[in-house]
Structure 1
Amino acid sequence: MTASSGSASRREALDSTAAAACAAVLSFLSPGTVFAAAGGAVTVLGANGKTGTECVKQLLAKGIACTATSRSGSLKSEFEDPSALLTAAAVDVTNLSSVSAAVKGAKGVIFAASASKGGGNAEAVDYKGVVNAAKACLENNVPRLVIVSSGGVSKPNSPVYKFLNLFGEIMKFKALGEEEVRALYAQSDAPCYYTIVRPGGLTLAPPLGVEQLEINQGDAISGRIARADVAAICVEAIYSDATRDTTFECYGADTGKPLDSVGVSNILKQTAGPGTPAPSSAHRGSTWAQLFQGLEPDHAL
């Protein structure tokens, strides 16, 4: 990924003292404590989707206040039990003012929305909706925006891209959304950052947990991953300095395959043999800090 010419001026404009203080807090406090101390909630855009629902569950389990949004403002029945930590809100991601109102005052935003029959096509949601989220976060000084994208999204000649793009050109518009988000943040002087998470084939299997996950950069390797694990990555990324302005792929460590063969591997639910070494570019770890360590930012910070 190439460095943006506008990134240096953006970062130089940040208040270094405030950034250092924030880093110190994030290093020594647990995620739940950070949000409780800061007094802000995390907004989940697309909370009624399968991954969005898992994000809400992760936040509540950690004791983190959550504003869960959907087009209607109603949530799934599994969230019917009242919780002081959970607020429901109606948001149309295709409308900038609607998104801005939902993220104002948030300490983090997770964009888990995607094209659907009732919510808008890929151009409206996966492209324009993502861009609206970025603009709203920058305008409201939301410290972190985490976007759920897709593995293979930057490789239009790969079988994964070609297959998934048959569904309303969703890969094309996800890629366009990613690129515009990077440009908006590189040009901004706001003390805000993004993280783009590119999961492999999504499943409803039980989560594997951090020790059995793998992340990579370069969009050359993918695999399968439980939505609950994607949600955990999204929530943890909000608090990690190592994920600032980064883009990375994620999947179960034993399912990782090159893009040219991962589609068949996922369909057949294949796994790597015992003792198969990780690719040299892969990140693994027994903690989230170890998993995220060494990620390369998309542009100079």
Structure 2
Amino acid sequence: NLVRSAIVDVNKASSIPSAIQGAKAVIFTAASRPKVTATVTPGTKVASSSSSSAPLQTFAAAKVAPPSDHVEDIGLENVAKACIANKIPRLVIVSSVCAKCRKKQEYDVPDQLDRGAASCDACYKKQAGEDAVRELYAAAKDPSLSYTIVRPGMLTLGEARGVKEVEFNQGVTKSGMISRLDLADILTAAALSKDADGKTFEVYYRDSAQPVDMYASLQSCKALGKSVKECFFGDGYDESTPVSLDEMLKNPVKGTLFASGRVVHGNSYFAMFKDLSSDKDEAFDLDSIGYNSM
């Protein structure tokens, strides 16, 4: 068997080594979760732990799963330390673009209603986790050990569309959507490729690409010699000719939307990894983007 699973609490460092012992690669997909409770639907029957059933009201507010926290920062750091200590050659991490977040104190709404801020808290923890991983591997100074950080866009339940529909980007300028199936292929390829070592990148379908900062992306795109229409719809559009929605939907995207100069396309993920830039020593600062929310 090439893949094995084990129950591990990544926030408890002592539980990790036995689960990863002897592995060639570890793929980190864990994430924090809020408290999950049952939803009360009057009159609905639900099976209990015995053979009988009872109205769901009996289980009102029953805890289905306890909350977890600090998985993306402390938990990830624990896993990275364990991988380094146990000489696991590859650590592949699923992170997130998370570039549109505003810090919690910037919201003028009660905490219990502030779901967006809660999501952003997780994003800042992901960034802290990313930074910790880079620092740990830099300090280890072991060329046989490496990491890859993959930042997918919104995950979908759709079918895999394949490598030719996927776009890599670096610099947190764009995001989009991608199927969990295609993401799984990317993670597997990264675990098997030395060309993905020490690299961080965003992944999404090229026809779903959206800028993180519209103004900055348009400026960068136009600086690369693209027309405004090509920035929005892809290469080959005549600036003077109107484009109908029907035409847009029928024609596949040519080139890239909102060209950034750091986009990678290809016929195989292994080839695409080669065209990515390695991480620099300085950490990426989410606040430096200067995104202005509505």
- Give TM-score, length-normalised by structure 1: 0.62
**Distance (whole Å) between structure 2 residues aligned to residue 260 and residue 122 of structure 1:** 29
How far did residue 156 of structure 1 move?
A: 4.4
**Distance (whole Å) between structure 1 residues aligned to residue 94 and residue 116 of structure 2:** 15
Identity %: 37
**Distance (whole Å) between structure 2 residues aligned to residue 248 and residue 114 of structure 1:** 19
Aligned to 1:108: 25
Matched, 1:297 2:278: yes
**Distance (whole Å) between structure 1 residues aligned to residue 208 and residue 157 of structure 2:** 15
Which letter does structure 2 place at the counterpart of 1:167? S
- For residues 140 and 186 of structure 1, do their structure 2 counterparts lie closer, same or farther at Cα, with a shift above 3 Å needed? same
Structure 1 residue ranges without an equivalent (≥5):
1-63, 69-88, 262-269
**Distance (whole Å) between structure 2 residues aligned to residue 164 and residue 233 of structure 1:** 28
**Distance (whole Å) between structure 1 residues aligned to residue 94 and residue 254 of structure 2:** 28
* Cα-Cα RMSD: 2.4
Alignment of 1:94-105 (within 5 A): 94-105=11-22
SS of corresponding position for 1:90:
coil
Alignment of 1:132-151 (within 5 A): 132-151=78-97
Aligned to 2:160: 207
Do the aligned residues in 1 keep the contact of 2:148 with 2:199 (CA within 8 Å)? yes
SS of corresponding position for 1:150:
coil
How far did residue 178 of structure 1 move?
A: 0.5
Matched, 1:65 2:2: yes
Alignment of 1:47-126 (within 5 A): 65-68=2-5, 89-116=6-33, 117=35, 118=65, 120-123=67-70, 125-126=71-72
Aligned to 2:172: 219
Question: Which of 145, 148, 162 matches 1:195?
Answer: 148
Which letter does structure 1 place at the counterpart of 2:123? M
Deviations 1:200-258 (A, max 9, x none): 01111111111110001101111000111111111100111221011000001111111
- For residues 165 and 138 of structure 1, do their structure 2 counterparts lie closer, same or farther at Cα, with a shift above 3 Å needed? farther
SS of corresponding position for 1:167:
helix
**Distance (whole Å) between structure 1 residues aligned to residue 102 and residue 255 of structure 2:** 27
How far did residue 120 of structure 1 move?
A: 4.5
Matched, 1:284 2:231: no
SS of corresponding position for 2:161:
coil
Deviations 1:138-183 (A, max 9, x none): 0001000001000135x6459xxx9854337110101100001110
Structure 2 residue ranges without an equivalent (≥5):
36-64, 108-114, 215-231, 235-247, 282-294
**Distance (whole Å) between structure 1 residues aligned to residue 29 and residue 132 of structure 2:** 17
**Distance (whole Å) between structure 2 residues aligned to residue 164 and residue 206 of structure 1:** 28
**Distance (whole Å) between structure 1 residues aligned to residue 152 and residue 86 of structure 2:** 28
Q: Which has the higher contact order (CA 8 A, sep 6+)?
A: 1
- Give TM-score, length-normalised by structure 2: 0.64
Question: Which of 186, 190, 197 matches 1:233?
Answer: 186
**Distance (whole Å) between structure 1 residues aligned to residue 169 and residue 120 of structure 2:** 27
**Distance (whole Å) between structure 1 residues aligned to residue 119 and residue 265 of structure 2:** 32
How far did residue 299 of structure 1 move?
A: 3.6
The structure with more helix, counted as a fraction of residues = 1
Report how many aligned residue pairs link the two structures: 204
Which has the larger Rg? 2
